[in-house]
Amino acid sequence: MLGKGGKRKFDEHEDGLEGKVVSPTDGPSKVSYTLQRQTIFNISLMKLYNHRPLTEPSLQKTVLINNMLRRIQEELKQEGSLRPMFVAASQPADPLSDNFREAQPAFSHLASPPLLPAELVSTMPLESCLTPASLLEDDTFCTSPAAQHDGPTKPPPPALQAAKDSFSSALDEIEELCPAPTSAEAVAADSAAGDSKAQPSESNLPKPEGLAESRTAEPKLMDPLPGNFEITASTGFLTDLTLDDILFADIDTSMYDFDPCTSATGAASKMAPVSADELLKTLAPYSSQPVTPNQPFKMDLTELDHIMEVLVGS
Amino acid sequence: FLGAGGGNDIQWCFSQVKGAVDDDVAEADIISTVEFNHSGELLATGDKGGRVVIFQQEQENKTQSHSRGEYNVYSTFQSHEPEFDYLKSLEIEEKINKIRWLPQKNAAQFLLSTNDKTIKLWKISERDKRPEGYNLKEEDGRYRDPTTVTTLRVPVFRPMDLMVEASPRRIFANAHTYHINSISINSDYETYLSADDLRINLWHLEITDRSFNIVDIKPANMEELTEVITAAEFHPNSCSTFVYSSSKGTIRLCDMRASALCDRHSKLFEEPEDPSNRSFFSEIISSISDVKFSHSGRYMMTRDYLSVKIWDLNMENRPVETYQVHEYLRSKLCSLYENDCIFDKFECCWNGSDRQVEFSSLCTSDLSSIVMTGSYNNFFRMFDRNTKRDITLEASRENNKPRTVLKPRKVCASGKRKKDEISVDSLDFNKKILHTAWHPKENIIAVATTNNLYIFQDKMN
């Protein structure tokens, strides 16, 4: 016999990512709004940069996605936080605390214990995609079907959600460390500018052809050790990286000639090229090979297999 | 209209289906455009493989008065071939984006077909006689030795099996940097326009080496590009008036008499955004995928992702009518964005303009009274402007027997699903109906699913 309890918050936010935009000002719904925005931002980036068609991509689609990114970016700028949120799960001594302060309160919700509506807890993996494999198994998102928000399309397995975001969180991570104010724009502009000085290291980063492929490609690049995040999040060496160098090494740029984001001069400030060592350090999390001997976070192959099983198999 | 069979409501019955039966769809067979000619006797389809297939309606069978003539294949030809743009290292798709028929002037039929870059004028002609009795040639074509010719005769035409030939008469190329989305023949029947994402060009049907640019919205700095042209059409009666729609949900009406380059519109049609429906996807779902003038030219219809809107050309600030096609998708926009369905371009069409709507025309002064458009799960919808009733029907091979009235379908948005209703989550988003066409004079409709063409007609008694 069910008691006449108060209406669960879960019902209210049932549409979660799908429903109408919740006002960004009310309490816990702010998280859901920002979460939704984050997801859409990530999806938009994936659409723009993962698509390698043989024919020219639709200009209309590109323009609409680009407008979406710009709008979100404007919002973020207005809110004062220049970077899309990413995991702040355990970052006690956050070197970039200035910028994190904004994000922290939002995440404190996620970090707090089970009084949260199931939906909020279950969406945590979207943000904390670099969790150890052992945690993935315990994660409610993976196990609770109620957490699947996707409607008509077959919902991608939670792993896929997490996997997709490893790329975007990589982008996020790098973006947030680049001092350019319009980091998202820089990403867009640089990728399309056809900057040929991008390094071959780009191949280490995922460029899946489609969602299915990303499922297999991504796990390789996921870092199971949260500690890595701290390392790469630290100040110093990443600030003078160019986005091109890291991300857009060997893009076939002929396709982007008519890309509206094409920037001949570059909206982002060009940063000084970085030394190979520094580059390698940042790429360590995304590479399945040990980069340098003193790199403490080599990917453990057995762990890798385990992750792949969890993400792809089940 | 909801199948109740009352009064003047149309009862739709399955008539025919064309195309492969198997579920495995060959990419080249995907239908990309459907268009009746001006008399309705011919029905053309274009596909992703660059082919055009034309069906012809049989002459009405006197003995079978309960059904109209069937459509059978009349001609099939390869309109466009894939090309390669060496400068950009990209393929140019051979997919036929649009077909438009010219009104018939003589025995032959003419149509314009276009892919992303090139428009072609095709002549389709019949040959049912051939000359026989040449002096210097045998019947099989071999040349005779002139020395063996002893008498002379005059060749005569003798009947032969009907042969339908399609030949390209004009090729209008190299005028579009971006992808052509529309072609529209002017009411003068001498000129036509072609529109791509950023530009609209005016052509003369006889001249292929020159075209005039009449709209150009390309910004000097491509980084500033935020809006593209999505569709364009000439006014049915005024040969200097045309409209074009944009990805931001606006329609601009231009008059070519105003200036050579119609960069400044004469009218701008735009509905202010409903603040209660604002979402991240507001802009994307407002993008107009099709625009069609009514027969009189007084109204125009636009299709955006979730609705069909009817505009009175005299009122720019909002549409006179709005019909929700599949409002239940509004809460699924994020998923539809993720799987790209939100970018699907649905077309819309008006009913034919002849006698069957005379009842409706008593109520409005416009013969255009019913609109039809497609949706997902192989559903398509019709809205009657006069009765304000609407119906959802399905194009599927199951449960479709000739002369059986189609059963109306219903999608259950939320809550308890009634019997025979389909829940939103069960909809198949791979089965989309983007292209539909209505016979210009009779109640016959052609509905294209992914690779099949369905023909429905009203129940005749």
Smallest Cβ–Cβ distance between A59 and the set B197, B277, B330 belongs to B197
Taking contacts as CB-CB distances below 8 angstroms, the residues of chain B near A182 are none
Greater confidence, B249 or A292? B249
Q: How confident is the model at residue B361 (pLDDT cuts 50, 70, 90)?
A: very low
Q: Tell me: the pLDDT tens digits for B414-442?
A: 777 788 899 999 999 999 999 999 999 99
- Is residue A289 over pLDDT 80? no
pLDDT cut 90: percent of chain B above it: 78
Q: How confident is the model at residue B193 (pLDDT cuts 50, 70, 90)?
A: very high
> Does the beta-carbon distance from A153 to B179 stay under 8 Å?
no
Residue for token pair 């016999």: A1
> Does the beta-carbon distance from A60 to B228 stay under 8 Å?
yes
The chain A residue lying nearest B91, using CA atoms, is A55
Question: What integer pLDDT is reported at residue A175 of this predicted model?
Answer: 58
Q: Tell me: the pLDDT tens digits for B137-152?
A: 888 888 988 888 899 9
> Does the beta-carbon distance from B225 to A39 stay under 8 Å?
no
- Is residue B370 over pLDDT 60? yes
Side chain identity at residue A132, one-letter code: P
Greater confidence, B48 or A144? B48
Taking contacts as CB-CB distances below 8 angstroms, the residues of chain A near B429 are 152-153
Contact B28, B49 (CB under 8 A): yes
Question: What integer pLDDT is reported at residue B67 of this predicted model?
Answer: 66
- Is residue A6 over pLDDT 70? no
Q: What is the largest CA-CA distance in chain A?
A: 68
Q: What is the DSSP string of B228-287?
A: -EEEEEE-SS-TTEEEEEETTS-EEEEETTT-SS--S-SEEE-PPP-GGG--TTHHHHH-
Taking contacts as CB-CB distances below 8 angstroms, the residues of chain A near B223 are 189, 260-263, 267
Q: Tell me: the pLDDT tens digits for A294-312?
A: 444 455 677 777 777 777 7
Q: Tell me: the pLDDT tens digits for A228-274?
A: 333 333 333 333 344 444 454 454 555 555 444 444 444 333 444 44
Side chain identity at residue B81, one-letter code: E
Greater confidence, A78 or B172? B172
**Which residues have CB under 8 Å from A295's CB, separation 6+?**
A280, A281, A284
- Is residue B179 over pLDDT 60? yes
Taking contacts as CB-CB distances below 8 angstroms, the residues of chain A near B343 are 58, 60-61, 64
Contact B426, B372 (CB under 8 A): no
Give the N- to C-terminal CA distance of chain B in Å, as an integer.
Answer: 17
Mutate to test the interface with B, among A153, A168, A182, A214 (most CBs of B within 10 A): A153
Q: What is the mean pLDDT of residues B353-376?
A: 67
> Does the beta-carbon distance from B280 to A150 stay under 8 Å?
no
Buried residues in A150-186 as b, exposed as e (16+ CB within 10 A): bbbbeebbbbbbbbbbbbbbbbbbbbbbbebebbbbb
State the smallest CA–CA distance between residue A78 and chain B in angstroms: 16
- Is residue A148 over pLDDT 70? no
User: Which helix (DSSP H) or strand (DSSP E) does residue A120 occupy?
Assistant: helix A118-122
The chain B residue lying nearest A253, using CA atoms, is B88
Q: What is the mean pLDDT of residues B204-217?
A: 97
Taking contacts as CB-CB distances below 8 angstroms, the residues of chain B near A72 are 280
The chain B residue lying nearest A192, using CA atoms, is B223
Taking contacts as CB-CB distances below 8 angstroms, the residues of chain A near B225 are 63, 260
State the smallest CA–CA distance between residue B224 and chain A in angstroms: 7
Residue for token pair 């999505």: B230
Cα gap A17→A40, rounded to integer Å: 9
State the smallest CA–CA distance between residue B441 and chain A in angstroms: 35
The chain B residue lying nearest A148, using CA atoms, is B335
Contact B259, B240 (CB under 8 A): no
Write down the ipTM of this complex.
Answer: 0.91
Backbone angles phi, psi at B210, to 5 degrees: -150, 140
Question: What integer pLDDT is reported at residue A211 of this predicted model?
Answer: 38
Question: What integer pLDDT is reported at residue A312 of this predicted model?
Answer: 74
Q: Tell me: the pLDDT tens digits for B33-85?
A: 999 999 999 999 999 999 999 999 998 765 566 567 899 999 999 999 999 98
pTM: 0.68
Collapsing DSSP states into helix, strand and coil, what is residue B291? strand
Contact B176, B83 (CB under 8 A): no
Question: What integer pLDDT is reported at residue B329 of this predicted model?
Answer: 96
- Is residue B12 over pLDDT 70? yes
Question: What integer pLDDT is reported at residue B396 of this predicted model?
Answer: 93
Cα gap B162→B285, rounded to integer Å: 48
Tokens of A284: 């360590």
> Does the beta-carbon distance from A54 to B331 stay under 8 Å?
no
DSSP B247: T
**Which residues have CB under 8 Å from B287's CB, separation 6+?**
A60, A64, B230, B246, B247, B248, B249, B304, B305
> Does the beta-carbon distance from B333 to A15 stay under 8 Å?
no
State the smallest CA–CA distance between residue A299 and chain B in angstroms: 31
> Does the beta-carbon distance from A60 to B333 stay under 8 Å?
no
Our CA angle for A161, A164, A169, nearest 5°, is 110
Cα gap B87→B109, rounded to integer Å: 36
Smallest Cβ–Cβ distance between B335 and the set A71, A152, A258 belongs to A152
Smallest Cβ–Cβ distance between A18 and the set B178, B331, B427 belongs to B331
Question: What integer pLDDT is reported at residue A255 of this predicted model?
Answer: 52
> Does the beta-carbon distance from B336 to A39 stay under 8 Å?
no
Smallest Cβ–Cβ distance between B334 and the set A40, A47, A61 belongs to A40
Residue B394 forms beta bridges with which residues? B379
Taking contacts as CB-CB distances below 8 angstroms, the residues of chain A near B178 are 59, 258
Using alpha carbons, select from A297, A274, A45 the residue that is nearest to residue A178: A274
Tokens of A110: 């996620």
Question: What integer pLDDT is reported at residue B17 of this predicted model?
Answer: 94
